[in-house]
Structure 1
């Protein structure tokens, strides 16, 4: 089947490549010629394990191509996926929908046959219905808007697209074409549906809320265990053992119960803020008021780690040499958007320390955000003469570290485990001062 994907950022490029992998004839569209040129050469503009192999395989097979031409895309297919960014507005909590509106306003006048625009982007509830009216007002043919939210995890995006936990499709159930839209999307996802991936058909608002509710729940779970870790520190309890005990309860589960420096990235922080903003617009701000504290807990974790670093350096960071291992917001990603690790490194630098960072994949992105930090090309280089080492992203390269790897490199044998991912007994037995979050 033919389809297009508008936006070739993290979401759009992955979706385009994976739709081609499912056997469809796909055109990816972006206004950035540089991005289009890279993708056309089989080079992803970001790091995602396995994505470039999928890109190259489908480019070579002729099932995938990229363009800047909306006219070419409009003529190519009648199913158009919308995967552009919805960042947080500057100075506000609300989502910025300019890119979404721009795609719809540019595409719909070019459509010459009945078409469906299928939203993948995370948007405030009510956006899809408004876009449907907007699209029909500017098109000479029938246009439907549906919403098919993504649930990708960075680092697992290819497998999450090809074999998702669930497929959610929101349609305008008051429109005569709702059944036609459902049939088209079922055809596109025929392979995962045949593999027993659950397919849930909903109204537009439910589909939109499914995505933001999932992110709000995950953010709440992370902030919950981080709040409990503060109590553990005050009492001498061990939050890692406590989390294991909670995780055995099938109603709770162990995932997302790892105390640490908190969550970040391009989704959870901005999505819970947009959720709060939209709830306020709807007069339901009281219903999600707890998310404000979820956000505050998460932000405070960063200051907590900075304060731990200051204590490790004798009470002040001025003049200290600090090594930070990890700047991406999570392992298997080069994404530094709202990264706790990079934010902590920047705050330590602002307190007067000399900060040297290393990350296996995110150095280039980090340097663009914080050019005043020092950037190393290895763990050893980053830790040379360090007064304290901070592990802030749990890359395998860092969790595999042993005290003897750094004994002769650092100035002071002191380590802060911002992800509780190291064996503290091993480090302490080797004579290191080890500090974790919520651990004795």
Structure 2
């Protein structure tokens, strides 16, 4: 179905009355992890009546008490404000969600399968089959989770099986594009909306459900592009975007390997090619690679789904993207062996008797997410080679302790580096980027630093007597 409007001013072609009869659509968000909780809180801030739904009772209790169970700047205040205003509630009861909502957003996790690279859709299936048998009126189920192409059609089949046909329950797809650390802006001020729909009613309900987003944009004199498309395209948008970003990151990390071999500087190389408008300068900072709960598992699931569709050859390059990303982490161990004068033998270097400070645990700054964190992977590798590791991260310590309980965790940056034979900056927190190298130099055993994110001022640290090694940069 082709729609004649796909602009920031897109509005329903006719007045849409929510099935509940409420003045505005009542929204539920199924799954209150990072994705669902953030969307639920932000849409309540936009003025909607919102219900967050999850089977995790401790998480729901924490949210209902006004505490966000993860770190996202600014989200705690919005949560408490909207609970107090009566616009936002949380529940474990899917029957309550079915009675309450007009539009149900599916926001559950889609982790990598334990037996392969594909996405595990067990939580998606559980959310749908827990909700739709309790529906008593027409409703719209909208997928936001990152899923293999074809999932929306499968959900339609689940709805047909579990919901009375006379209700006319419909499915749509509208992928999310949250960046951890900037998620509030990404929800309240999105750079685009993708609407995968099959009917005019589904389209109009989705536009109505986003009226608060359009109104905010209008008040700020800006536009929100809207792309109206089919299910398959809407599902592919997120995984294609993640695959492109992962490729760009691994490209510049591959160039860093070449720069190391040639004696060139990858930061100057990235700056030079970034001036080309066809390339751009975003995601061209070489370092230890990407991590988190999205890019690594999404590019693997994309490859697996392409293989199932008979298009596996088209995405073969993503296998190399993944390999480059993993190899970038291993290069820190190689550089450490050079700086510490510990030969790199068949089993790797022996760091026994050495103290190494690891600055960073979260996979990126302004987050406490340690899923597939390059920093923790490197810390684990350094410890495996005999080093005594001291880890500090401004937000990710508790999650890191659950991931690597046998490591030593320092309460402050100063404590982490005290007595260190080597300092590794592995997450580009501002506290690390702008740390005083002279003050830190008084605490360490040796002024050696690996800049795993190429985020330090090399000249400043060198002037303070430090030997600085970045990835793809000459030693200073």
Into which bin does the TM-score normalised by the smaller protein fall?
A: over 0.9
Deviates more, 1:325-334 or 1:51-60: 51-60
Q: Look up the match of 2:34.
A: 10
Q: Look up the match of 2:355.
A: 321
**1:154 pairs with one of 180, 183, 186:** 180
Where 1:118 maps in the other structure, the secondary structure is strand
Note the C-alpha offset of 1:432.
1.2
CA distance in 2, matches of 1:91, 1:330: 28
Q: Which runs of 5+ in 2 are unaligned?
A: 1-23, 218-222, 343-349
Where 1:117 maps in the other structure, the secondary structure is strand
CA distance in 2, matches of 1:69, 1:403: 53
What do the CA deviations read for 1:265-324 (whole angstroms, capped 9, x no partner)? 000000000000000000100000000000000000111112212222221312210000
CA distance in 1, matches of 2:316, 2:358: 34
CA distance in 2, matches of 1:394, 1:228: 20
The alignment status of 1:180 with 2:180, answered yes or no, reads: no
Q: Look up the match of 1:47.
A: 71
CA distance in 2, matches of 1:253, 1:271: 23
CA distance in 1, matches of 2:212, 2:140: 20
The alignment status of 1:189 with 2:210, answered yes or no, reads: yes
Note the C-alpha offset of 1:205.
0.3
CA distance in 1, matches of 2:52, 2:109: 15
Where 2:428 maps in the other structure, the secondary structure is coil
- Aligned residues of 1:263 and 1:340 also touching (Cα < 8 A): yes
What do the CA deviations read for 1:47-101 (whole angstroms, capped 9, x no partner)? 0001111111111110000000001000001210110000011141000100000
Matches within 5 A, 1:399-418: 399-418=433-452
CA distance in 2, matches of 1:231, 1:94: 32
Q: Look up the match of 2:13.
A: none
Where 1:287 maps in the other structure, the secondary structure is helix
Where 1:434 maps in the other structure, the secondary structure is strand
- Aligned residues of 1:114 and 1:142 also touching (Cα < 8 A): yes
Note the C-alpha offset of 1:409.
0.6
Aligned residues: 435
Q: Look up the match of 1:336.
A: 370
Note the C-alpha offset of 1:193.
2.9
The alignment status of 1:249 with 2:276, answered yes or no, reads: yes
**TM-score, normalised via structure 2 length:** 0.90
CA distance in 2, matches of 1:26, 1:284: 40
- Aligned residues of 2:47 and 2:212 also touching (Cα < 8 A): no
Where 1:295 maps in the other structure, the secondary structure is helix
The alignment status of 1:374 with 2:408, answered yes or no, reads: yes
Q: Look up the match of 2:11.
A: none
**1:390 pairs with one of 411, 424, 432:** 424
**1:263 pairs with one of 277, 290, 294:** 290
**TM-score, normalised via structure 1 length:** 0.98
Note the C-alpha offset of 1:226.
0.3
Where 2:356 maps in the other structure, the secondary structure is strand
**2:332 pairs with one of 294, 305, 309:** 305
The alignment status of 1:422 with 2:448, answered yes or no, reads: no
CA distance in 2, matches of 1:365, 1:437: 27
CA distance in 2, matches of 1:429, 1:46: 38
The alignment status of 1:112 with 2:146, answered yes or no, reads: no
CA distance in 1, matches of 2:160, 2:102: 15
